[in-house]
Amino acid sequence: MGRVYVKPSNLHTSRRSRTLVTKMNFNNSKGVANRWLTGLIKACSCVLFVGVSFPLLGQSSDIHDIEDSIIKIYTTQAAPDYFTPWRLLTPRQSSGSGTVIAGNQILTNAHVVANASYVQAQKHNDPQRYQARVLFISHEADLALITIDEPGFFSDLKALSIGELPNPLQEVSVYGYPIGGKSLSITKGILSRVEQQVYAHAGTYLLAGQIDAAINPGNSGGPVIVDKQIVGVVMQANSGGRTENLGYFVPPSIVRHVLKDSEDGNRDGFPDLGFRTQTLDSPAAKAAYGLGKDQDGILVIKVFENSPSRGFLTENDVILQIDDYQIADDGTIKLSEDLLTDYKHAIDLHHIDDTIAVTYSRQGKTNTIELIAQRAQESYSLVAGEQFDEVPEYLIYGGVLFVPLNMNLIKRWGNDWSRSAPVSLLQARNEWTSPQRREVVVALQVLAADVNLGYHDWRNWTVESLNGQLVQDFNHFSQLLRNNQDENVVFENKNGYQMVINHETALASEEQILNQYRIPTAHSVGLFND
């Protein structure tokens, strides 16, 4: 069973579009260390659902009150090419949906406007398109806010409010502008499940609602409506052959979190307390860690450096409760009598600098501590998650293209990246960061020249050390190269294989290599803060 974004109507599809069909609004599309999450992500398929559109003739007054608040969004996206990071991929045009909310804002998906170079908005039953401006993006929650500066655009539009999460089996309506026509489409279904899910846009793991309404390409960012209120934002669909008409939406608690986060214009995101856990379903394991028969909890297996939990929690502690949420042996908490979800949601409800109460057991003794929620670091995995609206980093030395390893690069191997990308790069996703190593540096390709003779066929090669110094991250690697005083530079991987480049020759041949391969600069802008 795979989880994919239903793409919107694509106006033009480039032959160079090679990224995943995982987004509702695009033909093309954070690295996570946990193997179970890796399995979920790589199970994605590219099947898109055909939805049922209900005509607007004879519609109820409720629909009349809502339809003008639903906006069609057109995006031109110019994403960077991580194989040749000084270039952009061919721009492409797509469309999605959004909803007018308070403050002259339109709520939509982050993947609708990610890497956007130009955005337009169109009202219901209005042929004119208006230039739009992105106000705020939460890639973690796959939500974005845009606005239109054209005077009077919002004057005749009603702002819809954010409602509450529907009850299980409650009927909902999905509004949007999918392919197959220009008019507003409405599909209906019921809420069948609420639990943590992998958000395909950024690989995050947040609460989501599941509905059986048919969701089509172009529905991205459209609202899920109950009683004229937004109870969710459509984001992705489920496919894989054994299920049909399963869609997922961002629930109200996550929407409100993002709206509050957006108030100061700075994106803080969701906090992370900096520990990892495993379930305690085994009675033998529970007894070994000092839990009584009436106690449930989860085992701490890793506490990261520089995290809120460091110095308070240790490996082999058992977390019993977060705030008022008791944690079961399988790692779930009760949202209500009818709803269970992963305990991480209790942390996701908080904002940066909030106090989070954590009750834990250590060698049979129970304690409660208060941790200050901090912004999650970019990644606790050696492979950073997919980035958007960012310029890739790179460095060319001796004709060798060096880049940091991230999910953007891995996904350039296409839809089947989990099988087609080099194994050494994929394996790094399952390794934790440490003070000694925070990032993987890759010799991506060799631009053939005299200076690198003997290595012309080397590619996708991870660099463990430079002249005997362990490489911590890409910035550290770049500084080591820039400050090198040795005659030769020796790059070595973890298996002991070496690439040797004469330093003087590398510097002397730089301009010629750049000109020969039509590369504007030897490194990405800002790499050395020059």
Instruction: Please return the burial class of 119, using the count of CB atoms within 10 Å of its CB with bins 0-12, 13-18 and 19+.
Output: buried
Cα 415 → chain centroid: 16
d(CA 98, CA 109): 8
With residue 410 as reference, give the H or E element that holds it. Answer: helix 407-410
The DSSP annotation for 277-323 comes to EE----HHHHHHTT--TT---EEEEEE-TTSTTBTTB-TT-EEEEET
17 is catalytic: no
Of these residues, 97, 173, 220, 307, which one is catalytic? 220
Q: How far apart are the first and last CA of the chain?
A: 48
Q: Identify whether the C-beta of residue 439 lies closer than 8 Å to the C-beta of residue 473.
A: yes
- Residue 471: closest CA among 523, 499, 436: 436
Q: Identify whether the C-beta of residue 74 lies closer than 8 Å to the C-beta of residue 122.
A: yes
SS3 120: strand
Q: Identify whether the C-beta of residue 31 lies closer than 8 Å to the C-beta of residue 381.
A: yes
With residue 240 as reference, give the H or E element that holds it. Answer: none
Phi and psi at 147, nearest 5°, equal -145, 170
Strands (E), 36-128: 70-77, 92-101, 105-108, 116-122
d(CA 407, CA 473): 16
Instruction: Please return the burial class of 494, using the count of CB atoms within 10 Å of its CB with bins 0-12, 13-18 and 19+.
Output: exposed
d(CA 139, CA 190): 27
d(CA 175, CA 99): 9
Tokens representing residue 506 in the block: 């590398």
111 is catalytic: yes
Place of tokens 């050494």: 424
d(CA 37, CA 434): 21
Instruction: Please return the burial class of 486, using the count of CB atoms within 10 Å of its CB with bins 0-12, 13-18 and 19+.
Output: exposed
d(CA 97, CA 233): 10
Tokens representing residue 82 in the block: 């991580």
Of these residues, 111, 139, 345, 523, which one is catalytic? 111
Give the active site residues: 111, 220
